[in-house]
Structure 1
């Protein structure tokens, strides 16, 4: 990751040395400054990250996030990104599950972390990011020797077992992901990314942030997604943004804001967004209606792609030719990535247009392991080494893939997040008035899938199901909280007692 920064920091051209790496609410920060601050963090960590040891970080979306992330990598450590959106119980789980023994935290977020660390009874050390970045830069300007195959990044994702799993990427797999996207999407130092994505998922960290910095481009970071602020920056600010990435929910909200504008303002938004080089949607399927509305409102043909935490990006529509992009399709395999479809018997049906099959992926972008789960890791690969994504797809006569859906109904893709229905059910069952619950995803143009729950209350309970929303917000991230609840007398089950989630979805308006 330091290649572009080192080249720019030592360039004989003063303009190159002054190139902005990250712009945030605090100002503009050059690649030379980023490299220096990362080395200060490295010095503060000492040998704590040696050999790919796990180091957690809880930082806002800002320049400081990047400096801390790079500092952990410079020290040889593996980054475990935590999110301010995570409640205490999830922060504790990610820290302990990853075996992190140190957490670098921004001063503004330490209040939420201290009770967690107190429960861990001193086994995890807190290092304030301001202290780390304020340390003297080490006399040695050389970074730690890092084996490209050692742990570099943990991404926590939910699976059908309900418990989040730590997806471990190496420096080699991250480099392969970024290199593939650079070749496919034409990243260059002249690009300027408007970054509005969460920074604890592969989309925000690798696809967006690493993608820009690897190229020597500029990343302009907003603290969080805000449709009004995004449009104000793109329409009223300097006309230098070239790339916008988001999840379908974000584009839906941008469209809502554009449609509410007066006619002259709406035209100005159209003209400004049309000048962007790429608008990219991912992390969930983009409804065809939203894609068409986006084109009508902005003149932009959305670039859809497909990936997941375990594989980075695998498929993408054509970045160079908007006319070649197909609405509802996620494109063709990216450079260096092999993709095939397998039927129920394991036979390759990729060459049979229109025949659905399980999407399987192979190549250097694929993750190393689910941390601490060797049997689970092994079960997710075929005997000949292909990763089984759990997504069903079809390939057309042009070799372009479309996603048909998940194999498991217990995975919900909502607002760009992949959620475990079982994990949400387990939390709801902790409520003293809840005796049974089923969580499903129901179609939503705004969210892709909206989390919804059917709840059976205990006899005599006076609970209004709407009261469960604030109760849930205290125990899980807001994006996991069901957006709809219904109370039912009993959940639909078969004679063997197995829950019929298709019937549950029908109850909730699927």
Structure 2
């Protein structure tokens, strides 16, 4: 951890109070309950239910250092995560669909000492049960802000997943910055159906409400009907979720009484943005982040929202663009550069990966995101994509895959699009588009459409029609499987 980060966390630790501020045991003891603090699996837990049951979990695992939690959307998962945070035990979330090799790596690399709650088969770790009806009112002191709260495993383009170390102070700083950007208060009701093993669903979607004090309704699966029936004010979704809602006018119109719709984890297609605005009356908030950084950029509840742009730095964050030589890139809304960030919500490095840590930070303390972006003169950011797969160097030009995808999605016949660069003896890289169609159209027509929307050199040289695009659990297209 850098000296700057240590100072930031120390200062933040003095201000953050309890990480899960709404679970203050003094408030519960005084009878100030929240009757619908968390609803999941159709079960509603009050603040006192949640605190009493999670404290009972904490008593059983307080001597542990790290435990694995099968991150299913269940009451047991919520109690397990909260119990660990109360006791100061590090959580290792395990995706329920982990394959054998990935599971072995996560458990071995993290040093998890036990499963807390249900375990996946094929492991030798002991299992500590989570009893949903047990209660305890023991009080634990708040751990230091620099204590590691989570080890989140994130996959790169090569090698096994890396363990991202997220501290309590970083999480608190990140959530408070979002509460500021989104005007998020205890008067909100958050609704989402996202997985609980990523930053979006777990940190923002579970710990956010428990810090802010807003009730959470987890819908299990993020279906249009479930969202429409939830009666929330603040909704989280990935583009796949919002696309399905936009295709269901009745469900979309049911969200008209909401306050804010937030889209993240992948770019929201501009046609979906516009359709949501038409049906719900709300222009969605788009934001940008990573497991390593949490959310660093967002449009604001009280500010401008542009389709295809992820807004400005949240409170406490600084950003900059650099080219391949390390030189500054102009903030003119056109020139593409590698995005670097710094702020109090960034991670403390990769577990046991000195090589990856050295490669991820500049000498002057900026995190190299690996994403490429443009910044306009007003400070608005547009993410072009991953430098490794989304920055295409074709015929001497630098082309962002994202802008080509956006142009393709603007054609009425295109339902989904993914653009990659493939090796080409003449051009260096050839722009190739994979598209899922909703109506018949010729390849030539789509290529010409892009050429008219953008510069001619940005047109795809080849179109490949597919039935589906490979996506991960958060809806991100896995381009390495295409290329």
Are the counterparts in 1 of residues 360 and 368 from structure 2 also a CA contact under 8 Å? yes
In the alignment, which residue of structure 2 is the partner of 1:21?
37
SS at match of 1:20: coil
**Residues 62, 88 of structure 2: 8 Å contact kept:** no
Structure 2 counterpart of 1:252: 243
Distance 2:330 2:185 in 1: 33
Separation (CA, whole Å) in 2 of partners of 1:72 and 1:10: 19
Deviations 1:47-69 (A, max 9, x none): 11xxxx22110143133322210
Distance 1:293 1:404, change over 3 A: same
Aligned 1:23-422 pairs, distance under 5 A: 23-48=39-64, 53-106=65-118, 110=119, 113-117=120-124, 124-130=125-131, 133=132, 135=134, 137=136, 141-144=138-141, 146-231=143-228, 233-234=229-230, 240-258=231-249, 266=250, 269-321=251-303, 324-349=304-329, 351-409=331-389
Q: Does structure 2 conserve the Cα–Cα contact (< 8 Å) formed by 1:187 and 1:211?
A: no
Q: Distance in 2 between matches of 1:36 and 1:70?
A: 11
Contact 1:57 1:105 in 2 (8 A): yes
- Is the CA contact (8 Å cut-off) linking 2:265 and 2:475 kept in structure 1? no
1:185-215 deviation per Cα after TM superposition (whole angstroms, max 9, x unaligned): 1111111011211110011111222221111
Tell me if the contact between 2:71 and 2:94 (Cα under 8 Å) persists in the aligned partners. Answer: yes
- State the number of aligned residues: 399
Cα separation, partners in 2 of 1:343 and 1:102, compared to 1, 3 Å: same
Contact 2:21 2:210 in 1 (8 A): no
> 1: distance between equivalents of 2:182 and 2:473?
33
Q: Distance in 2 between matches of 1:282 and 1:478?
A: 13
Q: What secondary structure does 2:122 align onto?
A: helix
Distance 1:7 1:445 in 2: 54
Task: Give the whole-Å Cα distance in 2 for the aligned partners of 1:381 and 1:3.
Answer: 32
Give the whole-Å Cα distance in 2 for the aligned partners of 1:480 and 1:287.
12
Question: Cα distance, 1:350 vs. partner?
Answer: 5.1
| Alpha-carbon displacement from aligned partner over 1:279-327 (angstroms, at most 9, x marks no partner) | 0000001111111111122222111011111000111112124xx1111
C-alpha RMSD of matched pairs (Å): 3.2
Q: Unaligned stretches of 5+ in structure 2?
A: 1-18, 392-400, 403-419, 421-431, 439-469
Q: Give CA deviations for 1:83-115 in whole Å, capped at 9, x if unaligned.
A: 222233322221111110111123xxx4xx132
Give 1:10's match in structure 2, choosing from 18, 28, 36: 28
Residue 210 of structure 1 aligns to a residue in which SS?
Answer: helix
- 1:87, 1:477 within 8 Å by CA — same for their partners in 2? no
Cα separation, 2, equivalents of 1:295 and 1:21? 29
Shift of the alpha carbon at 1:37? 1.1
Alpha-carbon offset, residue 145 of structure 1: 5.1
Unaligned residue ranges in structure 1 (runs of 5+) = 118-123, 235-239, 259-265, 414-420, 422-439, 447-472, 485-500, 506-510
Q: Tell me: CA distance 1:54–1:443, structure 2 relative to 1, closer, same or farther (3 Å).
A: farther
Distance 1:479 1:2, change over 3 A: closer
Q: How many Å apart are 1:38 and its aligned residue?
A: 1.3
How far does residue 35 in structure 1 lie from its aligned partner after superposition?
A: 1.1
SS at match of 1:375: helix
How far apart are the structure 1 equivalents of 2:94 and 2:262? 24
Indicate if the aligned counterparts of 2:79 and 2:130 stay in contact, CA closer than 8 A: no
**What displacement does 1:27 show?**
2.7
Shift of 1:116: 2.4
Deviation, 1:410, is: 9.1
In the superposition, relative to structure 1, how do residues 221 and 227 fare at CA in structure 2: closer, same or farther (>3 Å)?
Answer: same
Cα deviation for residue 445 of structure 1 reads 9.1
- C-alpha offsets along residues 427-453 of structure 1, whole Å, 9 cap, x if unaligned? xxxxxxxxxxxxx9946699xxxxxxx
Q: Could you tell which deviates more after superposition, 302-311 or 56-65?
A: 56-65
Aligned to 1:237: none
Q: Report the Cα distance in structure 2 between the residues aligned to 1:246 and 1:479, rounded to whole angstroms.
A: 9
Instruction: Tell me the secondary structure at the aligned position of residue 326 of structure 1.
Output: coil
Query: How far apart, CA to CA, are the structure 1 residues paired with 2:177 and 2:356?
Result: 27
Cα distance in 1 for partners of 2:46, 2:433 equals: 43
